[in-house]
Amino acid sequence: MINNRGSIIIEKLKMEDTSIWTEKYRPSKFEEVVGQDDIVKRVKNLTNSLNIPHLLFAGPAGTGKSTLALIVVKELFGKNWRTNFLELNASDERGIDVVRQKVKDFARTKALESSFKVIFLDEADALTREAQQALRRTMENYTTTCRFIMSCNYSSKIIDPIQSRCVIFRFKLLEKKDIEKRIRFITEKEKLQIDDKAIETLYEVSEGDCRRVINLLQVSSTISTSINQDLINTLITSAKPKDIKVVLEYALSGDFLKAKEKLLDVMLRESISGQDIIKSIQKEIWNLQIDPELKVKLTEKTGEIEFRLVEGSDEFIQLEALLAGFVLAGKGNENGNKS
């Protein structure tokens, strides 16, 4: 069906050779999650009862917290999951009031074929204690119609009244056998060869962060279909600011495609989030040998995109838009200089 959102996304992924593997291989069923055995079992039982309590997922980056939250809502709501699910980032720089307003708006309408909706609040530990108090009151107000799944790196940063309202799950860094299992799964699907030493190295540099492993694997695959330790080693020793500078120089010279290619490469290789990329770009703008007026213009543009990223827009699309903006700004400047 053409008007089915899911299938359009799948079609898009099929067409794009630049699809991001961490999304392509994000588990969509409990059985596909590696490691965290105890957590998966308990969360699965809760989900099967069709009435979950508030959940708090605590633990290091790239270990499956967001992934598990998504599986829970897909299991609970089936085809209606998008309607009954709201994903928010607690570190929204516009403040807790914006977060609470979004919760309110979402909670106002009834859930589709369910007695409650689910709100996933990422990075809950980024909230101040005062903001958490405000959030706690919001949770209380909507407790009959909404369940919260919160995610954080450190549960100690979450105030007791919230902790006591949630069932807490502590995610661990993934073990070597789990990482290996996922690597083997992906390399098989992608028809790649990989040797044991390369797997060992991937595990060591990732320190149990599965996102980093998959990103490194994807970059490796763009260089060779046969992945060994040397290849991985060459990838993990590269300089960041220099790379960002190259991206900007391509964009300003008008070469959008090269800029985009290089940006994707940097993001995957270094496993940097969109927001961190934006920060590096902001820094690098001031080191470029360009007109001060253009620097201001570029900084403005960057701020705008940062705002959209914080709002939760697709990282790569927003960064692409930023590069396109740089290309135009570079062209405008050329004309300005000529006249």
**Tokens read off for 58:** 């605590």
With binding defined as CB under 6 A, does residue 187 bind ligand ATP? no
Among 22, 36, 66, 215, binds Mg ion (CB under 5 A): 66
- Total residues contacting Mg ion by CB under 5 A comes to 2
Instruction: Answer whether 159's CB lies under 8 Å from 133's CB.
Output: yes
Q: Are 171 and 57 in contact (CB under 8 A)?
A: yes
Query: Quick one: which of 214, 247, 266, 272 contacts ligand ATP (CB under 6 A)?
Result: 214
Q: Provide the b/e sequence for 120-132 (b: ≥16 CB within 10 Å).
A: bbbebbebeeebb
Question: Is 208 among the residues that bind ligand ATP (CB under 6 A)?
Answer: no
* 10-29 binders of ligand ATP (CB under 6 A): 22, 25-27
Q: Which is nearer to Mg ion, 210 or 305 (CB)?
A: 210
Asked if 271 is part of the footprint of Mg ion (rule: CB under 5 A), the reply reads no
The answer to whether 89 contacts Mg ion (rule: CB under 5 A) is: no
Pattern of binders to ligand ATP over 257-296, x per CB under 6 A?
Answer: ----------------------------------------
- At its nearest, how many Å lie between Mg ion and the CB of residue 226? 32
| Extended beta strands in 153-254, E state | 166-170, 193-194, 226-227
Closest CA to 247 of 330, 332, 159: 330
DSSP state of 117: E
Size of the site for ligand ATP (CB under 6 A): 21
Tokens of 55: 């959940």
Do residues 204 and 232 lie in contact, with contact meaning Cβ atoms separated by under 8 Å?
A: no
CA distance 291 to 339: 15
Stretch that binds Mg ion, among 65-73, 138-146, 186-194, 253-261 (CB under 5 A): 65-73
- Residues near ligand ATP (CB under 6 A) are 22, 25-27, 33-36, 61-67, 151, 174, 182, 210-211, 214
- Residues near Mg ion (CB under 5 A) are 65-66
